[in-house]
Structure 1
Amino acid sequence: MKVLYDQPIENNHFLHDYQQGEPSARQLFHYAGDTQGVQDRLRYLDGRSFERRRLKQLLQKYNDSLYYGERAVAALEKLESEEAVIVAGGQQAGMLTGPSMVISKALSVIKLAEKEQKRLGRPVLPLFWIAGEDHDWGEINHVNFPVDGHLDKTRFEGNFLPNVPVSEQPFNAEEAEAFVEEAFSKLRESPFTKELRNEVRVLVHRSVSWSQFFAEMMRWLFKETDLIMMDPQQPEWRELGAPLFKSLLSKPGKINEAVYQGTVERAKAGYGDVGGINFDSGHLFYHINHVRHLLEYSDGVWRSRRTGDVMNTKKLLRESVHSPFLFSTDVVTRPLMQEQMLPVLHFVAGPGEMQYWSLLKPLFEALDLRVPVVQKRMEVHYVTRQVQQAAEKERIPFRELLNLPALKQKLQEVKHAALEVDGKAKAARVMEEMKEAHAALADEWVRQFPSQESFAQENWRRIEKEVGYLGNRLDAEQERTVQVHIQRLELIIGQLYPRREPAERQINILFMLNEFGACLPEQVSAKTDWKSGRQNIILL
């Protein structure tokens, strides 16, 4: 394995400016990602108090329940120290960990924590926040593998409850194992397949929920690291979150005003809207028989967006204190929950998350909190030997493999260069030239035999088809002379950018583990260094 590094050219205006440290983007946050920003954040955390012993107990209890949780449990002993801080990142609990960008994010959390602990000389713990309260089942109920040149989706077909959090979805080990077996059936039999299948089966039968299965998989893949797993959907965590739930219910106008102010400040900085923000939302979910109801607040009344039913405000406030497990946060207020409970130094975000976080500074300030240092996660691109060989033969530098527009342009140039004559265009010109002459002939046919007009029309369709076929055949025969080059370029694009999107956003990591072994994530971790937004090109 060899690792090459590169920094992507950010096409998004905001992300480009943020990564470049432009004041227009950085002013939307409390801290810059430089040395001074980190020191300022540390001073702020050192001035706050956290329920460290309780945090340690809850996290140790959860991680100790995981088959490979021993390293995480040991690392958590440091959390009672007033100097201990956290690097956090998170994701939904996807099937078999979901797309491999989840692994990239966990790797980013681990490497940044390692770097900061060494640099700062104080405990820095890596923590992965499982968004177990999320209920978008369609986003996570499947995995994609490349099969015969295309992406094949394996979907879980077992029992599920609509609009119920992932952590509370029914989990049946036999159904889960059937899904795992179907997924493995899409992979070729390799020297690693049997061991992988057996390991995953063990983790399935240890699990009692989909979020635990996710956590089991993550700790297995990073068992030689200190990565700490956390599922805030557990009732104990929502007890700690009770003060936030009460605050959100007590001052909804102030909360929405702050969210709106965040959009105003972003617009003033010169950046576009962030989709999906509802200014009537209470940014809080209320659970009725496990089903999540987004609470909306307007005209002094709380309502369920799902049903329109009016909610009793006094009852909601009472339950936020005595039954906090009935509430959960949304994408806007989840960061507040994290900030309230944990001493987070850095938050590692994907590009979409960073857009949301750019709105949150006024909201944090409304609750006397501050946004942590936000870092863009690293990317990890796995380049097989097959792709490397194709790139070498086409004289494409390995770093250029991440430039999709350049690859597509090169493919078109190869195809165009093969066409000494544009057969399709030439066939179209021939048809245009023939059209008038054929029309005259057809008119004569109709004059002589009016009852057989359709014969002339069918004759013209046959001519169009045959001339078009000749033009296409001319192009195809010319392309055949450069087909080997086209196949290499299509192989490169197909493996690195299936459906013209980066593979890490689509392909599940199990595909790579089946080819290169379960130790792959740890090998990558050992050979990579942290840098915000860095592209890691893994030459396998």
Structure 2
Amino acid sequence: MYEPHKTAERFEVRYDRDQDWQSRAAWLDSASHLKADKLALAEALEAYNRKVGNTDPRVASHIDSLREGAFVVVGGQQAGLFGGPLLVIYKAVTIIRAAKEAAAKLNRTVVPVFWIAGEDHDFDEVNHTYVTEGETGSQIKKISLSREAPYAQAMVSGTPITPAQWSHCLDELARLLPDTSFKPGLLDKAQELTAGAGSLSESFARLLAWLFGAHGLIVMDAADPSLRKLEQPMFAAMLTGNRAVRDAALTGKQAVERLGYEPQVAFDASMAHLFAVDRHGRRPLLASEDGFQVKGEAGKRSLPDMLARLEEKPEDFSNNVMTRPVMQEYLFPVVAAVLGPGEIAYWGMLKELFAVYGMKMPIIVPRTEVTVIDASTSKLMAKYGLDLDQALLQLEESRQSWLMAKKPAGLNDRFADTKKHISRLYDPLLDALSGIHEGMRQLGQSNLRKLLEQVEYLERRTDAELAGRHARALGQWSRIAAQLHPLGKRQERVLNVFVYLNSYGSDFVHMLVEQPLQPGAHYVMYI
């Protein structure tokens, strides 16, 4: 885990110091680094948001503010099926709240932007989501999309999703969600969000527009061809000065290693920190003193060739995880970036890379974390005497203790004593057998193991009988686990927002936006 007091030197400003917001704003006003044309950027955002139905007047007003030089709070995520895990929702909430708070601190307009990482090509990371099944909610079920072979390395935004694929996922969602008063309308909305959506990114953007458009959240897709054209000058700079890019990335990596941390992004000195995009998909670009090479290809291409290709087809280039934040800074006047824990870890490597282009890292705002505890789970916690720490941090231990208490007093000790007693009885017998032949001792040891295995088998059968007698109660423990620790992970990293929209309607999300949630804090929400 990264400790802020040890890594402070890697970040130039802090979100919890008002003076740093003021200094960041003053720097943005005076900065002269390479920047995108803000009028063209606003036009591209206007067109994309109109395309995905993000047409609330507050969104339009925020895009107009960008034309006039407003600052931005930005955060991003890959485009997940039906929105992906809950942490995506919490990131959007944090972006919106941080923009409002920044506007109040700076007494000027600050707009929230959600950066959809549609250029990523790891489809298996985003092609699925998880919901709890049925009325009991004690089982976690996966809903997923497949991808055809020709698109194996394609960007997520470039991977077509057919109506039949959407229909399969919608049918699964309808089957798994329990019946509630919200379910019919929610399924209609899910159908609307996917109807005619050619990619996961488009459906994902529509969902964000539905949930957060009323709060003025601007959405954008990093793979949008209109943005690629705007990014052309920055890509040219990254290609022309790629040695500096590679050196800065390596310096940042080594600095993090000196602090005693394992870098969160693996790369070597040959990586150009860019991707090439063609009919074969999105593949890493390698660099050397005599040119560039697409990973997996034999031939090399000179810098003039690469720049000519960039001029002709800017959509053939894509950022990697290291250069994306720099491109973000080129496109927007970013006063703050909302990041999750893993992102903060790798951003610790980026200080020198920003400096290559005369940029400074924005203020880093840690994403708010939330665990939702519904009424049924809360009642079960009370029934089994679980406090919050036990439920969130020691649930399996608490379950085992509860089950252990149902055994007859001293039974575990009797099993343990029996195994020890059998072993003690065998010790002199094994010694005597050794005097006959060493092979007899080995036979005796084998015989002992079988006896002990029989005792252990009896112990397991006893536990199974006990579990059978308390099957209903253990099912309730399983429900607690499914709600709070789905798949053994944190709730926000697994469960989909549709689980809660189905129970509470879209007010669930609007309530989150209105709550005074602080960045970086972990909240427990009883609902």
Q: What TM bracket, shorter-length normalisation?
A: 0.7 to 0.9
Aligned to 1:224: 214
* Partner in structure 2 of residue 535 of structure 1: 522
Q: 1:144 to 1:308 in 2, by over 3 A?
A: farther
Give 1:402 deviation, angstroms.
6.8
Aligned to 1:89, what secondary structure does the other structure show?
strand
Structure-1-length-normalised TM-score: 0.85
Matched to 2:143, the amino acid is: T
Q: What TM-score do you get using the length of structure 2 for normalisation?
A: 0.87
Of 50, 66, 71, which residue of structure 2 is paired with 1:79?
66
- Correspondence 1:28 to 2:10: yes
1:510 CA drift (Å):
1.2
Q: Aligned to 1:366, which of 353, 356, 374?
A: 356
Show the counterpart of 1:152.
141
Cα 1:246/1:230, change in 2 over 3 Å? same
- The alpha-carbon deviation at position 427 of structure 1 amounts to 5.0
Could you tell me which of 44, 54, 60 is aligned with 2:27?
Answer: 44
2:88 is matched with which residue: 71, 94, 102? Answer: 102
Given residue 105 of structure 1, which amino acid in structure 2 is its aligned partner? K
**Cα distance change of structure 1 residues 424 and 246 upon mapping to structure 2, 3 Å threshold:** farther
Distance in 2, Cα, partners of 1:372 & 1:79? 17
CA apart distance, 1:401: 5.9
- Residue 175 of structure 1 deviates from its aligned partner by 2.2
Q: 1:15-60 CA deviation, whole Å, 9 max, x = no partner? A: xx32xxx2x3121022222112111110111114652222221111
Report the CA distance shift for 1:312/1:299 in structure 2 as closer, same or farther (over 3 A). Answer: closer
Q: Which residue of structure 2 lines up, in the alignment, with residue 7 of structure 1?
A: none
Deviation at 1:503, TM superposition (A): 1.2
The CA deviation at 1:142 is 1.0
CA drift of 1:473 comes to 4.3
Equivalences, count: 507
1:285 aligns with 2:268: no
- Between the aligned partners of 1:175 and 1:257, the Cα distance in structure 2 is 44
User: Quick one: structure 1 residues 181 and 478, their matched pair in 2 at CA, closer, same or farther if it must change by over 3 Å?
Assistant: closer
Quote how far apart the aligned CAs of 1:458 are: 12
Matched, 1:515 2:515: no
Provide Cα deviations, 1:187-238, integer angstroms capped at 9, x if missing partner.
Answer: 2222221111111111211423321111001111223211110012111101
Q: 1:209 to 1:438 in 2, by over 3 A?
A: same
Report the Cα distance in structure 2 between the residues aligned to 1:240 and 1:91, rounded to whole angstroms: 21
Percent identity (aligned): 27
Tell me how far apart the structure 1 counterparts of residues 244 and 446 of structure 2 sit (CA, whole Å): 72
**Is residue 165–residue 290 contact of structure 1 (8 Å, CA) maintained in 2?**
no
Instruction: Work out whether residues 196 and 514 of structure 1, in 8 Å CA contact, stay in contact via their aligned partners in 2.
Output: yes
Greater shift in the superposed pair: 376-385 or 127-136: 376-385
CA distance in 1, matches of 2:279, 2:458: 66
Match of 1:131 in 2: 117
Q: How does 1:277-426 map to 2 (within 5 A)?
A: 277-289=267-279, 291-398=281-388, 400=389, 403-404=392-393, 406-417=394-405, 418=407, 420-422=410-412, 424-426=415-417
Indicate if the aligned counterparts of 1:115 and 1:530 stay in contact, CA closer than 8 A: no
- Alignment root-mean-square deviation, CA: 3.1
SS at match of 2:358: coil
Letter in 2 for 1:523: M
Structure 2 residue corresponding to 1:269, chosen from 259, 265, 268: 259
Q: Distance in 2 between matches of 1:58 and 1:252?
A: 28
Specify the alignment match of 1:503 in structure 2: 491
CA drift of 1:332 comes to 0.5
Q: Does 1:248 align with 2:231?
A: no
Distance 1:460 1:259, change over 3 A: closer
Residue aligning to 1:524: 512
Letter in 1 for 2:526: L
**C-alpha spacing 1:476/1:291, structure 2 compared with 1 (3 Å):** closer
* Deviations 1:260-313 (CA, angstroms, capped at 9, x unpaired): 111222233343333423321101011122611211113533212233442333
Deviations 1:363-390 (A, max 9, x none): 1101111111111101121111111112
